[in-house]
Structure 1
Amino acid sequence: MAETYRIAVVGDWQSVMGFRALGLETYPADTREEAREIIHRLAKENCGVIYLTEQLAAGLEDVIARYKDELRPAIILIPGAEGSLGLGRKAIQSAIERAVGADIL
């Protein structure tokens, strides 16, 4: 039988609460240290995908790098309530360049 993985959203309260209505697990974090602890805990608890707001990701490059080449969790950057910082797009562009060998965006 196939194993099921959870999907979580980590960010400030205002940014993550809307995802609860979609059935995703939400983890409000006020500081980068809180987010760091939540991400590491979710990784140990069989979480397959973690959506992380760009505002918190801006100070968690080491955490994102730690899981970048792991099968799970996939950490996907999303804009927070304050808007986009462009980090999510940069991460996607970098992943495409590694896979294809060229910038196609």
Structure 2
Amino acid sequence: MSNWKIAVLGDRESVLGFKALGLSVFPAETAEEAKTVLHRLAKEDYAVVYLTEQYAAQMEAEVARYKDELTPAVILIPGKAGSLGIGMANVTKSVERAVGADIL
């Protein structure tokens, strides 16, 4: 896994701007398509997959599947409609697990 890559997955309007940063962009029309793409990215040595919260809300089982895996790290980001609070809730849970208390 020496050539790890970073991907951004979500609706077209939310992810296209990340292409200018040199990230691999994967626009998906539906959450079902995003599920398929996420599993493909996991097999293709993507170290980090940024996923819009709007799709993550519709694919909880798939996101949970990679939660304790080394790769890919699935990081939730707000989409074009704004934040749903899911990403911050996940960060809070991870910090609580690591530290033993909610320090945020």
TM-score bracket, normalised by the shorter chain, equals over 0.9
Q: SS state of the match for residue 76, structure 2?
A: strand
Unaligned runs of 5+ in 2: none
Partner of 1:63: 62
**Distance of 1:47 and 1:9 partners within structure 2:** 10
Q: SS state of the match for residue 103, structure 2?
A: coil
* Runs ≥4 residues deviating over 4 A: none
1:60-80 Cα offsets, whole Å, 9 max, x none, are 110111000000000000000
**Distance of 2:76 and 2:70 partners within structure 1:** 17
Partner of 1:81: 80
Alpha-carbon offset, residue 30 of structure 1: 1.4
The number of aligned residues is 104
**Distance of 1:30 and 1:95 partners within structure 2:** 30
Superposed, 1:1-105 pairs within 5 Å as: 3-105=2-104
Q: SS state of the match for residue 63, structure 2?
A: helix
Alpha-carbon offset, residue 4 of structure 1: 2.2
CA RMSD for the aligned pairs? 0.9
**Distance of 1:46 and 1:74 partners within structure 2:** 11
Unaligned runs of 5+ in 1: none
